[in-house]
Amino acid sequence: MFEWPGLTEEQVMVQRLARQFAEKEIRPISLELDAATDLERSFPWDLVRKGSALGFRTLALSPEYGGLGMDVPTQVVVIDELGYADIVGSKIFSQCWKWSTLIEAVGTPDQKERFLRQFAADDTFLLAMAMTEPDAGSDNILPYDAPDAGIRLSAVRQDGGYVLNGTKHFIAHGPVAKLYIVVGRTDRTVGGSQGRSYFLVPHDAPGLRVARWHDKIGFRNYPQAELVFENVWVPAENLLGGKEGPLPEVHNTINHVELAAHAMALSRAAFDAAREYASLRVQGGKPIIQHQAVAMMLADMYIDILCGRDMVWRLAHMAKEGKSDRMMRIATKVFCTEAAVRVCKAAMEVHGGLGIMREMPVQKYVRDALVLLHMDGTNQVSRIRLGGLIERRGAVQVPQLV
């Protein structure tokens, strides 16, 4: 019912491979992993290895460093297939696309040689961005940019490098990554956006430890953790990009559309589950899909998904062309994540009493969708940013249809 327009032969082939992998390796273990209480022991390393063998972990990395070099639309196609089976199974891989391409785009030649080749060669090498802190969440993205706001983790020059001290939390891949991109404060005399720098820190750096795994209501086996840095020394050559300060914005990566693509994959799974159940469940002498109340719910779900997927596909092709529209990125993230909540909640309601039973996947869809609202900044913060951009830009230019 939902198809990506104009796929190339290569994209169709990758889509088919991702679909087969998802149905064989991800879907059968989805509910079992979600129900696991020992998050550390239940992390799906076997899934990571099998996916790596097919190239999913290094999908976005260029062939020069051992990856497949797939463009952003192709990455969206893979997210849609893997995430349809289980959004966690997709996010484990796509998180690596975001940070490997960032290192490739802004890293020094030495950093790319040292870290990206290690990443490509090791089937269990995962990446993480360590930015959020207990006292610095929305302050990192709001226009509020006072010297005393934002990142607190200190990065002090010492002995030909930097010493990091502080705490990070809610870090995706935090307890399983082998390399962290750590955001530290190098200058407290200026605002947080200008006074922070980025460091490449191996997981086994002395003084770095995982304090705890976070126990979430959704995205259960997509691990997030609290990290503690106690006098962690990082050599100067691990300063990402080779200089202090903010990184340049990179447009041709999955970063700006990845979360929205996951929201749409989850929505598609919920919609199909609701449509199938409504076609089979008979009440009042006919399948409930023939009752107007249920049909209208399904119609609203379809509209949300159709609109969200179009926004995602536009952004993906803009990224492929090296273009970017910050307003559209924010709008897409907000719309798609909130649409996912609406769609998944409606799917649960279509299932009636069964919808809240643990053995049914729709209850997991709802919990996963709620977590989307808290990724890459809250939607309230996103709206504040979008409002500021609207004010500054004046007349809004609507991106052309792909």
Asked if the model's pLDDT at residue 383 lies above 80, the reply is yes
166 pairs with which residues across the strands? 229
Q: Name the residue with higher pLDDT: 150 or 20.
A: 20
Asked if the model's pLDDT at residue 255 lies above 80, the reply is yes
Residue 232 to residue 361: CA distance in whole angstroms: 42
In a domain, 327, yes or no: yes
For residues 175 and 204, membership in a common domain is answered with yes
For residues 114 and 131, membership in a common domain is answered with no
Asked if the model's pLDDT at residue 400 lies above 80, the reply is no
In a domain, 283, yes or no: yes
Q: What percent of the chain has pLDDT over 70?
A: 96
Residues in the chain: 402
pLDDT band at 101 (very low <50, low <70, confident <90, very high): very high
What pLDDT sits at residue 1? 84
SS3 content of the chain, % helix, strand, coil (to 5): 55, 15, 30
Segment 159-166 mean pLDDT: 96
Q: Which of 15-19, 38-42, 250-254, 370-374 has the lowest mean pLDDT?
A: 250-254
Number of domains comprising the chain: 3
For residues 177 and 117, membership in a common domain is answered with no
User: Beta-carbon neighbour count of residue 18 at 10 Å?
Assistant: 27
What pLDDT sits at residue 141? 65
In a domain, 49, yes or no: yes
CA angle 182/218/357 to nearest 5° reads 170
What pLDDT sits at residue 395? 54
For residues 166 and 271, membership in a common domain is answered with no
In a domain, 398, yes or no: no
For residues 380 and 273, membership in a common domain is answered with yes
Residue 86 to residue 90: CA distance in whole angstroms: 7
pLDDT band at 140 (very low <50, low <70, confident <90, very high): low
What pLDDT sits at residue 90? 97
Pairing of strands 127-130, 179-185: parallel
What pLDDT sits at residue 147? 75
What pLDDT sits at residue 149? 74
Asked if the model's pLDDT at residue 4 lies above 70, the reply is yes
Asked if the model's pLDDT at residue 278 lies above 80, the reply is yes
Q: Which of 16-20, 98-102, 320-324, 368-372 has the lowest mean pLDDT?
A: 320-324
Q: What percent of the chain has pLDDT over 90?
A: 85
| Strand locations in 3-152 (E) | 127-130
Asked if the model's pLDDT at residue 49 lies above 90, the reply is yes
276 and 351 Cβ atoms separated by less than 8 Å: no
DSSP tag of 133: B
Segment 266-282 mean pLDDT: 98
Question: 219 — alpha (psi -120 to 50), left (phi > 0) or beta?
Answer: left
The pTM of the full predicted model, rounded to 2 decimals, is 0.94
Closest by CA position to 302, among listed 260, 258, 346, 262:
346
Asked if the model's pLDDT at residue 115 lies above 80, the reply is yes
Closest by CA position to 120, among listed 180, 202, 61, 44:
61
Segment 104-129 mean pLDDT: 98
Residue 19 to residue 36: CA distance in whole angstroms: 25
In a domain, 1, yes or no: no
pLDDT band at 329 (very low <50, low <70, confident <90, very high): very high
End-to-end CA distance of the chain: 20
What pLDDT sits at residue 191? 79
- Residue listed under structure tokens 């949300």: 304
CATH number at residue 207: 2.40.110.10
Q: Name the residue with higher pLDDT: 322 or 205.
A: 205
Full domain range(s) for residue 263: 257-393
For residues 271 and 359, membership in a common domain is answered with yes
CATH number at residue 346: 1.20.140.10
Segment 2-19 mean pLDDT: 97
Segment 171-177 mean pLDDT: 97
Chain mean pLDDT for the chain: 94
pLDDT band at 248 (very low <50, low <70, confident <90, very high): confident
For residues 116 and 229, membership in a common domain is answered with no
For residues 13 and 75, membership in a common domain is answered with yes
Token readout for 11 is 């994209």
Q: Name the residue with higher pLDDT: 146 or 283.
A: 283
In a domain, 305, yes or no: yes
For residues 148 and 97, membership in a common domain is answered with no
Q: In sequence order, what DSSP letters do the residues of 202-232 get, joined into one string? A: ETT-TTEEEEEE---SSSTTS-EEEEEEEEE
Cα Rg for the chain, rounded, in angstroms? 21
Domain boundary among 185, 213, 242: 242
In a domain, 164, yes or no: yes
Which string of b and e fits 160-194 if b means at least 16 CB within 10 Å? ebbbbbbbbbbbbbbbbbbbbbbbbbbeeeebbbe
What pLDDT sits at residue 150? 80
CATH number at residue 112: 1.10.540.10
Residue 356 to residue 25: CA distance in whole angstroms: 25
Question: 15 — alpha (psi -120 to 50), left (phi > 0) or beta?
Answer: alpha
Domain boundary among 73, 96, 121: 121
For residues 108 and 222, membership in a common domain is answered with no
Asked if the model's pLDDT at residue 321 lies above 90, the reply is yes
For residues 234 and 288, membership in a common domain is answered with no
For residues 114 and 188, membership in a common domain is answered with no
pLDDT band at 251 (very low <50, low <70, confident <90, very high): confident
